[in-house]
Amino acid sequence: MSKKVESLESSSKVKSFFKSPARITLLIATVFFVIALVESITGAVDISSPGTSGATLRFAIPLLMAGLGGLWAERAGVINIGLEGMMIVGTWTGAWFGYLYGPYVGLLAAAIFGLLSGLFHAILTVKIGIDQAVSGLAINLIAAGAARYLSGIFFPPVGGDRTVSPPVETMPTFTIPIIAPFFKSIDEKEIFLISNISGLIYGVTTELSVVTVGLLLLLPLTSWVLWRSKFGLRMRFSGENPMAAESLGINVYRTRYIAISISGMFASLGGAYLSLVASSVYREGQTAGRGFIGLATVIFGNWRPSGVFAGSILFGFTDALRVRQNESVMAILLAAAIIAGLLSLYYALSRQWKPMSIAGIIALTGFWLNRQVETIPQEFVTVFPNVATLIVLTFLAQRLTPPAMAGMPYRRGSE
């Protein structure tokens, strides 16, 4: 009994630590400081370069959209494993309609077809009530097959192959005036720490796509709907306890229909981003499992929009590093080890021995790996999101607060 109380206390301490804005600022500042330090020690200049922060944003947006899509569905009580397939819908329709009528029509088409694919999932799981995983996986299969079938019919052959769409007109980008040049000038002065942060800000404020900004706005919108709107309350209620919701006059079926359709639309827009903004063609296999990583960000982010955002930035960052400069991953490992060491010190000072020893072990392993291994193989960087999510599920399962009825079948009028 006393042990339980103790753990409760320590968890509330951790919570209050993360809640206090001043301390969060301190934490972020520490992270930046360590990264800057590691960069100047190891010479891996690519971690906080403007190029990396820009690429991180570009890699993070599709994951964010898939993650928010997953969040909408799961908050309403239905797991959407079909995110990958719905992203494929977006990549294909975005590129094809973009090629025919211009990229904006492509985006619109992706949104509409994504909405329809979500609606399809909703009809199967809510109305008919089949297993949510079967429905999602079947959607993945059908979307992949249909995209390949339609490519084979509509796309002009490229070298005997019909797996790539004709190029779509690129979409306009803009640089935020005053801010971007200002931070660029500071970045070039190479002052320790300040230049690193400036470079990062410069990277995310220049050559921004309009679509990036537009899709980013869906994050606060999701937050607002979930926590501030009437519909969001109904949605969360349907996910936590559909029976009780129904008894209070909420139309659970309709709520879920809407939420899952929007889920499909978001995932599909994430796919369209891949084919219209991140590149300018549809290519077979373009989504490369991003729908599943989106699913992972939902868990990683503890079913919260801000958490999904943090997860997609983190996974987008590792993706960007892998593509740009795999050596930097070693520097990140060192940075993570130092941060874990500092955390361990913090826990030691606040006399929380268990988290202290866990953080300490992580720190020592990090330092040891850093000395022993030349580079981290690219394969492991690729699956970092999957490993991270499994670790979170394994060790932090008690801290996670998923919607209670997500994934459970629910039929109106039955228990």
User: How many of the other CB atoms lie within 10 Å of CB of 401?
Assistant: 9
| CB of 192 closer than 8 Å to CB of 33 | no
Considering only 179, 393, 399, 404, the residue that binds another protein (CB under 8 A) is 393
Residue 299 C-beta: closest distance to another protein, Å: 7
Q: Write down the residue that tokens 């001043």 correspond to.
A: 22
| CB of 96 closer than 8 Å to CB of 165 | yes
Over the window 357 to 376, marking each residue x when it contacts another protein by CB under 8 A and - when it does not, the resulting string is --------------------
Phi, psi of 375 (to 5 degrees): -135, 155
Within residues 64-103, the interface with another protein by CB under 8 A covers: 79, 81
Within residues 29-58, the interface with another protein by CB under 8 A covers: none
DSSP state of 76: T
Report the amino acid identity of residue 407.
G
Given its phi and psi angles, is residue 190 left (phi above 0), alpha (psi -120 to 50 degrees) or beta? Answer: left
Q: Which is nearer to another protein, 70 or 203 (CB)?
A: 70
Within residues 154-183, the interface with another protein by CB under 8 A covers: 162
329 in contact with another protein (CB under 8 A): no
Of 146-154, 192-200, 233-241, 249-257, the window that binds another protein (rule: CB under 8 A) is 146-154
DSSP state of 208: E
Q: Which has the closest alpha carbon to 277: 216, 343, 361? A: 216
Considering only 144, 168, 171, 363, the residue that binds another protein (CB under 8 A) is 144
**Count residues contacting another protein (CB under 8 A)?**
43
Within residues 4-23, the interface with another protein by CB under 8 A covers: none
Whole-number Å distance between alpha carbons of 27 and 300: 19
SS3 content of the chain, % helix, strand, coil (to 5): 75, 0, 25
Q: Write down the residue that tokens 């005997």 correspond to.
A: 160
Let me know the angle formed at the C-alpha of 193 by 190 and 196, rounded to the nearest 5 degrees. 65
Residue 134 C-beta: closest distance to another protein, Å: 5
Residue 298 C-beta: closest distance to another protein, Å: 10
Q: Which is nearer to another protein, 135 or 198 (CB)?
A: 135
* C-alpha 74 chain-centroid distance: 15
295 in contact with another protein (CB under 8 A): yes
Residue 247 C-beta: closest distance to another protein, Å: 21
148 in contact with another protein (CB under 8 A): yes
Whole-number Å distance between alpha carbons of 311 and 281: 27
Residue 140 C-beta: closest distance to another protein, Å: 8
Q: Which is nearer to another protein, 233 or 240 (CB)?
A: 240
Q: Write down the residue that tokens 């268990």 correspond to.
A: 354
Residue 383 C-beta: closest distance to another protein, Å: 4
Residue 73 C-beta: closest distance to another protein, Å: 14
Q: Which is nearer to another protein, 43 or 285 (CB)?
A: 285
Of 110-118, 168-176, 269-277, 378-386, the window that binds another protein (rule: CB under 8 A) is 378-386
* 193-197: long-range pairs with CB below 8 Å, 24+: 193/32, 193/33, 193/36, 196/32, 196/35, 196/36, 196/39, 196/48, 197/32, 197/48
Within residues 204-233, the interface with another protein by CB under 8 A covers: none
Q: Which is nearer to another protein, 221 or 387 (CB)?
A: 387
Over the window 122 to 141, marking each residue x when it contacts another protein by CB under 8 A and - when it does not, the resulting string is --x---xxxx-xxx-xxxxx
What Cα–Cα distance (Å) separates residue 75 from each residue in 27, 61, 165, 217, 260?
29, 20, 35, 19, 10
Considering only 97, 99, 292, 410, the residue that binds another protein (CB under 8 A) is 292
- Per CB under 8 A, residues contacting another protein are 79, 81, 124, 128-131, 133-135, 137-142, 144-146, 148-149, 151-153, 162, 289, 292, 295-296, 299, 377, 379-380, 382-383, 386-387, 389-390, 393-394, 397, 407
